[in-house]
Chains A and B, each alone.
Chain A
Amino acid sequence: MDRRRLLGPLNTIIPNIGISSNPNDIKPDTTIDNDEVSANQIQNFFLKTGIIENANGSAYLEVGNSIIEVSVFGPRPIRGSFVDRASFSVECKFLPYITQPGEQIYNTTNQFNNGNSNTNANGRTGLTTIEQRISAYVETALLPSIILEKYPKSTFDIFITIISTEEGVNNNDEDDDNSAPNEQLLRLTNWIVNCSSVALVDASVELKDIVTSGIVKTTSDGKVIFDPRSQGNEEEEQEEGSVIGVASFMNLRNDELVGIWIERQGAINVGDTEMNNILDGCNEMSKKIRANINTYLANSLE
């Protein structure tokens, strides 16, 4: 029983999101015309910094339907005894009711499974499994870039809010399962890392380099797809042996690898060739994003 939030009468039932009684209701076509998506082209994104006044730094990123907001708080003093370097934490949260990519797979074990659960999402306190996974990856990837020794007895906290995601609520329609949750999760994570890096720059935190990421998918027949987009294509998604990977780099420090997250489709091992393809592809993509970010930052200085 939550006494700090107004969650309605005690006997409130949260209804299930059911199906539509209208036989003509077809889910909007999310299939992307393959002609428009030429290989090796990165999806357009919108980036803006410094929109949050009460944070030390912030960045806002829109890509497709996804909206990501990152606020950096720090350096802030910590309580207690002296430590010679700063501590660093990342908390990624989706707005309640926003569909989390892959929540049907990862979030079923806890009570926070929004959309399916009968608890009011307004009262959610902790992080979901997906939020924890994203937070952990972002923390791992950004940690090496911050010069923590410069900030003794301080803390940096990054708060990431996901305002919107690609997919709406995955209703429990059994036929409606052609989304590729892993791919969406990794895509989102990729953009979160890029956005968070820019927010760190906006906060004037001393960095070794700006971390950028790329995402690449390899198929079983050896095809390498840069910045794969949910194509809603049943055959391609089900294909045994496809591997999706996000990798983050510090491009100006000899392409130092700071984070990698790989999800594979089907019960196969990721071979050396695939691994190399993914790392090379991600590196290439991260450089393109880095170039974009550099231009943005240079322009914002003027």
Chain B
Amino acid sequence: MTTELKQVSFPPEVLARIVPDVSLQRHLSIGLRPNLRNFLEFKPIEIASNENNLTTSNNNIFGSSIIKSGNTTVINTITLGIVENNANEKVEDDVYVSIYPVVDIQRGRSGAPSDEEMILSQNLFETILHSKLIPKKSLNIESYGLATNEDGDIKIFYPNNNETSSSSNEYEDFESQRKRYSFVLFSHIKVFSKVSTIFDLCHVSILEALKNVKLPRVYMTDFSTTKIVMKSRNSNTRGLVGINKNNINIDLNQDLYYDLELNGDGGVSSNFGAITTTNRSENEDEEPQQQTVELLADLEGEAEEATILSRVSIIVDKSERIKRISLINGDNNSEIGLDLLQKAIDVAKLRAKNV
């Protein structure tokens, strides 16, 4: 007695789950990727950095960007901290700093950042640092104002403001013993609907947000505690409660805001993967099947992420300078050799120019 083995067939999306490699090969053999893009086609990115109200409606946000690619949305907000410079340190021209990013991917879990988020944050930090984008000088606080409190009437005086001659003496005293400060940039990157690797998107979001950063003037208060109005939950009475705070304040006068000076455009980040495909000859009799290593741009989706282990990520700027390359040949059969690396760099350059 023989048992007949029935051929099982799966719909494409089920096949992609069970055997992602087979699914990917089937797609590639007809010249398409599972996401229906061409081999070297990138997923379009929408940037809405100028027309978002995060910066305008929140006094503590000094730069922001909203990036969309497909359903993935990245919201980036830049805030400021201040550090005291070393007393006798002179900021040299060729010293560059970075931004401190915290990536937060919406993934239906609460708690500490995942490894993925930590690795992304660290890689972004190092990339911005070494691409020499933010000169330390541009974050230097040249001078700061002094606030005086006369019977509750707070006035801020700046050293280069001539109108404040009446209190210039007071300021000079202040000037002689002043400490030097610099801004520190923090970036919070919230990612919604992550479906593929998002280093490239996060990189764009930081650059876009940095481009519209406006730095404020700061002033010191000589009164160390500030009173804030407290309203009780249960009654209508208001009271003043003193809270302990540092005495560095941000002046919200938008007329005094100035642009953050950046060195270069920071580049555009592109990623590629290499996969060996078998070209099936249409003629059945024709013998050996040809194997070629194909380069795919902007990996996306389960099948590509799981199957393609040889990858390269490249950041090139508009003047064809390379800022970062991260290459790993994780698949012994599909190697990114020098020729494919060359090809990937060429594509990345072209993309950087056209974005």
Contacts and interface: CB of A to CB of B under 8 A. Distances in A.
Interface of A: 4-9, 11-22, 25, 51-55, 65, 69, 71, 73, 76, 91, 95-99, 104-105, 108, 114-116, 118, 120-123, 125, 157, 159, 161, 163-164, 167-169, 171-172, 174, 177, 181, 238, 240, 265-267
B245 A118 contact: yes
Contacts of A96: 77, 188
Given A6-B100, A11-B83, A22-B254, A172 B228 contact: yes
Given A16-B248, A95-B190, A105-B231, A161 B106 contact: yes
Interface in B92-114: 100-102, 106-108, 110, 112-113
Contacts of B235: 266-267
Given A18-B221, A97-B58, A168-B58, 14 more contacts: A6-B100, A7-B186, A15-B82, A16-B245, A16-B246, A18-B252, A25-B252, A53-B72, A71-B106, A95-B75, A95-B190, A99-B58, A122-B188, A177-B229
A21 B219 contact: yes
Contact of A9 (B121, B184, B229): B184
B80 A15 contact: yes
B250 A17 contact: yes
B53 to A, nearest CB: 7
Contacts of B154: 19
Given A13-B82, A69-B192, A122-B188, A51 B71 contact: yes
A9 B231 CA distance: 36
Contacts of A99: 58
B188 A19 contact: no
B83 A164 contact: no
Contacts of A19: 154, 156, 249, 251-252
B169 interface: no
Contact of A8 (B186, B229, B234, B250): B186
A5 B113 contact: yes
Given A18-B252, A172-B226, A177-B231, A12 B184 contact: yes
A97 B77 contact: yes
B255 interface: yes
Contacts of B83: 8-9, 11-13
B267 interface: no
A159 B154 CA distance: 43
A12 B156 CA distance: 24
Contact of A238 (B80, B195, B236): B236
Contact of B84 (A11, A25, A97): A11
A53 B193 contact: yes
B252 A115 contact: no
Interface residues of B, number: 75
Contact of B59 (A13, A17, A55, A95): A17
A233 to B, nearest CB: 15
Which among A20, A123, A159 has the greatest number of chain B C-beta atoms within 10 A? A20
A52 B100 contact: no
A169 B246 contact: no
Nearest to B233: A105
Contacts of B80: 15
A16 B252 CA distance: 11
A50 to B, nearest CB: 9
Interface in B51-66: 53-54, 56-61
Given A12-B184, A16-B245, A177-B229, A52 B106 contact: yes
A7 B186 CA distance: 7
Interface string B193-228: 111000000000000000000000111010000111
Nearest to B124: A6
B355 interface: no
Contacts of B217: 21
Nearest to A118: B246
Nearest to B80: A15
B292 interface: no
B350 interface: no
B233 A171 contact: no
Which among A97, A98, A105, A157 has the greatest number of chain B C-beta atoms within 10 A? A97
A7 B252 CA distance: 24
Interface in B144-174: 145, 147, 154-156, 158
Nearest to A121: B79
B338 interface: no
Given A13-B82, A17-B252, A266-B235, A7 B108 contact: no
A266 B232 CA distance: 10
B122 interface: yes
